[in-house]
């Protein structure tokens, strides 16, 4: 997949783009949305940003909008170029393509979600069935729970559904890489790296069972189509056995807004890929290395939709590219 630069969008000075890869989505109008931190004077602000060929717009969240320094936000593609920003388990804010506030909604069912000790994690929600999206919730150490979120913008309502986890028995849990270690097969639901709600089911990318992947490495990575109860309907791709190999291994997976591929990012720079990203094609399971545009070889691929790709080049700029040969 070769990328040809179309537009360059500078990011503000002092930007922290840590959560941008997890919160990026391309809307139907081709604009990229995401969440960044920006240093403003002596303080840090959380910005919801929108980039297109004309430049960068943003909506700054107030201190009252952000639970704490570790809290995350989820961006929901609600169509028409607009997004809904899930600020907390209790509140969602709808923004139009100008980054103006359309509505602030209270989410019903927040008490039950809080009782389950679930938090909003930096993430996106794309695709819906009957007005219901699916979000991944958990903690700063990993999201293991999927929760339906129903949005009816015409009625001005939002409500959580019943949380569920993926069936742990369907995953190759191998946290300690030893058949003799008691507890190695404990039923642990996988960490969900990304989720998209499609007409024919929920598509998920899972990133192993160990939340401390930087310390221990991951035990597996999968892409699955799952049912509404968390059972696996189809395994599309699997990598496992990593704990029994030399070194540490792990992948992060981001499903493209096209819904037909997964952007795979190695957690570690060692190994065959040397930390470089790959595109996993869901139709045939093939892996392809994206050819970055000239001068942007160290950029990170964020999303792909309708023949366009968005990249972030460090914390300095966003790059909009055409996909050649697509």
Tokens of 292: 């970055």
Mean pLDDT of 230-255: 95
Q: What pLDDT does residue 40 have?
A: 87
Reply yes or no on whether the pLDDT at 183 is more than 70: no
pLDDT in tens, 119-132: 999 999 999 999 99
Mean pLDDT of 171-189: 73
Q: Which residue has the tokens 């604009």?
A: 31
Identify any residues that bridge with 60 across adjacent strands, giving them in sequence order.
47
The confidence band for 14, taking pLDDT boundaries of 50, 70 and 90, is confident
Q: What pLDDT does residue 182 have?
A: 59
Reply yes or no on whether the pLDDT at 41 is more than 90: no
Q: What pLDDT does residue 70 have?
A: 60
Q: What pLDDT does residue 89 have?
A: 95
What is the C-alpha separation between 35 and 20, in angstroms, rounded? 6
Share of the chain above pLDDT 90, in %: 81
The confidence band for 151, taking pLDDT boundaries of 50, 70 and 90, is very high
What's the whole-model pTM score? 0.94
227-256 burial, b for 16+ CB within 10 Å, e for fewer?
ebebebeeebbebbebbeeeebbbbbbbbb
223 touches 205 (CB < 8 A): yes
Q: Which domains does the chain have, with CATH numbers?
A: 2-324 (2.120.10)
Reply yes or no on whether the pLDDT at 141 is more than 80: no
What is the C-alpha separation between 258 and 241, in angstroms, rounded? 30
């Amino acid at each position: 997949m070769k990328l040809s630069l179309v537009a360059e969008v500078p990011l503000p000075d002092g930007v922290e783009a840590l959560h941008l890869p997890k919160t990026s989505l391309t809307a139907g109008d081709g604009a990229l949305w995401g969440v960044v931190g920006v240093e403003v004077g002596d303080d840090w602000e959380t910005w919801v940003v929108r980039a297109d060929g004309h430049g960068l717009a943003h909506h700054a969240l107030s201190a009252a909008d952000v639970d704490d320094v570790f809290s995350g936000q989820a961006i929901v593609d609600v169509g028409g170029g607009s997004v809904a920003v899930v600020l907390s388990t209790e509140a969602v804010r709808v923004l139009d393509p100008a980054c103006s506030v359309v509505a602030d909604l209270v989410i019903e069912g927040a008490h039950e979600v809080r009782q389950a000790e679930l938090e909003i994690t930096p993430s996106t929600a794309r695709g819906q069935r009957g007005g219901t999206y699916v979000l991944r919730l958990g903690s700063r150490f990993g999201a293991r729970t999927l929760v339906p979120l129903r949005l009816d913008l015409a009625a001005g309502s939002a409500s959580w559904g019943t949380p569920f986890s993926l069936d742990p028995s369907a995953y190759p849990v191998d946290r300690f890489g030893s058949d003799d270690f008691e507890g190695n097969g404990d039923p642990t639901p996988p960490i969900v790296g990304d989720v998209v709600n499609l007409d024919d089911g929920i598509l998920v990318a899972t990133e192993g069972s160990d939340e401390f992947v930087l310390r221990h490495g991951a035990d597996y990575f999968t892409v699955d189509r799952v049912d509404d109860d968390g059972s696996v309907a189809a395994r599309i791709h699997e990598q496992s056995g990593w704990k029994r190999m030399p070194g540490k291994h792990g992948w992060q997976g981001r499903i493209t807004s096209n819904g037909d591929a997964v952007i795979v990012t190695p957690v570690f720079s060692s190994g065959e890929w040397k930390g470089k990203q790959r595109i996993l094609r869901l139709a045939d399971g093939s892996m392809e290395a994206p050819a970055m545009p000239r001068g942007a070889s160290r950029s990170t691929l964020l999303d792909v939709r309708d023949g366009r790709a968005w990249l972030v080049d460090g914390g300095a700029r966003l790059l909009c590219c055409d996909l050649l040969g697509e």
